[in-house]
Structure 1
Amino acid sequence: MGRGWAPAPPPAPRDGHDRARRWLAGRLAAADAAGRGSRPGGEGSAVPPAELLAEAVRRHLPVHTPEDAARQMTALADGLAGLGPLAEPARHAGVTDVLVDGTGTVWTDGDGGLRRTGRRLSADEARHLAVRLLAQGGRRLDEGQPFGDAQVTGARVHAVLPPIAAGGTQISVRLPAAEPPTLAELAERWPHGERWLAVLRHVLAVRANLLISGATGSGKTTLLTALLSEVPAGERIITVEDTRELCPRHGHVVSLQARGGNAEGAGAVTLADLVRQALRMRPDRLVVGECRGAEVADFLAAMNTGHRGAAGTLHANAARDVPARLQAMGALAGLGPGATALQAASAVDAVLHVERTTAGRAPVELAVLDRSEGPGPTGLRVVPAVTTGRDGLRVGPGLDVLESLAPAAGGGRHALGT
């Protein structure tokens, strides 16, 4: 058990919670039928009013003190519309992920690294929880669709059922920050943070089209959220995501989320569909939360038709691997290597690569894409602009390209902090 964990309070009898949930479901269904409060997102997707929770606890659960009553109300709300047995570990400071493995063991990840919580779910509990959570986010999870993800109470939940998941149901919950950090707050934790802050603010100011690359958990979405929060208030941001995670602190954000098909495969709305729709919605900044497939063709086309200041993320091991990733995604859209290279070289101004190390998450390289005249599988080359190395922050020839995008009011190496 990790340091700082307090023993969980003794649970109420399961039949008591079952009775309380059935009683609440009946009261909420009656309210819905009378038109006094439809609940968005389907049955059980909204937390019942506090007075109903209190009455359900009073009727069906043993309580001895006001603290008992409050704890049972919280547990009942978690079981109806929250993360259920994962809610309590998710509330601990510094926890970024809550995980359930095939044995039902509950883990956390965060400031202290990967840790067991001392909790274990039965096979039935894990499966029921996974199905309920995805249903709350409007997603299927069954034998016909044994994996998926959804947003639940602000968290991104991913689940996989057996036999796809060997051993048992797997649940992964990525938790949002209670207060998303600002760009300046992130920079305080980075090596050479002040200089990186100046560079990234320059990229924003000149409305450069930016791709943020990195591995899973490297901080791509956190950094993109912080960058978007610094977009001028008069600009309209439209985000396109498979599962919504981007929540910038900005006054004008339109969020679009993809949708899977039904049991017959009908009704699916893909990222490519949403990118095309977003272009008709007068975006000042078009943002694709994660480029992973054919939508990259529409995204690159948008950046080539005057939509400056676009941004997106993609998975890559290093900035130099981004051209190959773009080629692979372009092939899914029917683009050949040459066409992808032409589109990307004129559309993408900069690639920012971030890494997660034992010291934390931080940007390690900013580069520009250029057409390669020599042999190569993609026709693209990566030209370093700013790189964090063992000997400090290094400046590369790509910085001259970024400087050429400087606003008329200023620019140059001094403005970039290099």
Structure 2
Amino acid sequence: MIDVLFVLDDKTEVPAIVNKAAAMFSVARIPASDIKPDHVARARVVVVHAALRSVGHVERIEQASDETRRREDCIYVAKGIDRAGIVQAESIGIGRVFAAHQPLDDVFTAIQAILNRELSNKLTGHPASVVQAVETTDTLVRQVAAAMRADAPLPLRLLSASSQSIGVAVGSGGLMQWINAVELHHSQTSRHIMMVAGYADAFARTLGLSGSDTALFTEASLLHDVGKLFIPISILEKAGPLSDAERKAIMTHPLRGAKALKRDNAAHPLVIAAARSHHEYLDGSGYPDKLAGDQISPLVRMLTIVDIYSALTEERAYKAAMTPRLAITQMAGMKGKLDARLFAAFRDMVLNPVFGSQRSARSAENGPVQDCLANGIHPLDCGVFSHTAGQRAAG
């Protein structure tokens, strides 16, 4: 499935609206003369941006989509001052019609509203805590993305609320319930951010971290890929091999994300460091700074493990999802790159047969007094594990 199908006048035309949309959504385009029901069936939203002067074009659009889809999932954007297209669009029941003089942001808001409605429908039946956490985090990601594209201050007021809501969802229903809901999201980037945040919360609970450390780690996970919001979806979610230029573009995301977080002085320094350094490895072979050993904080070491595992176990446009055991096996081969003790603890967590369904509501009295991550202390040296648990994680 793609997010938006643009129906245009001819095969060569690439209007500004298409290029701008490609930075926010997965898109495809097709001439009105070629549109078929299969094209509409593979798109969540259809945007008609054509003059519609041809009766044949109007008929093909009508034949390719039923009345309900045209009313609920279709948008018409006029090409100029000629009202003929608007009249034609309204006559076949297209639900949202925009004149040429209206801002493109209004069109994108309408697209997002349709996608939000689809997500809300898919989440029907999931616990209220899970739905709230998905919706809160989705809003956070969209607001941050819009601010980054506009070079505006990042709206991080939702960051704490998102972290807390994920904690409630994971703690009350178990991680797999969260993962199953997140997999329904239309955006690969948003799915990854939410999955990493869920694994981060669960890992922090397993390590027995304090509430403030857990919140810090979850917030870092929510913003670790913020730099990818600068990169067009057409590159991030490309089904085929990346070109050298596309790969280089993606590799800029740690620096771009850290720069965006740093400019407003609103994010915690460790969150900024996580955005910049989550692709660094202990052996110095990572990027962008070739950090090694003690140069990499415990929080970043944890995030790197969670990020890699989540990426391996997610289905992407270009690959199938790995099983947990296969992902752990592949990560075990990254000798010298990952923190061995933290990886052992994470491995034991995700391979535990009852792990995904465990509920672990946090309370102030069962958390450690000392903050480990915030003070740069390795969690397994912080006294939050019992002696037995520490031995098991290190084995």
Which has more helix, going by share of residues? 2
State if a TM-score over 0.5 links the two structures: no
TM-score (norm 1): 0.33
- Larger relative contact order (C-alpha < 8 A, sep ≥ 6)? 2
Task: Say which structure is richer in strand.
Answer: 1
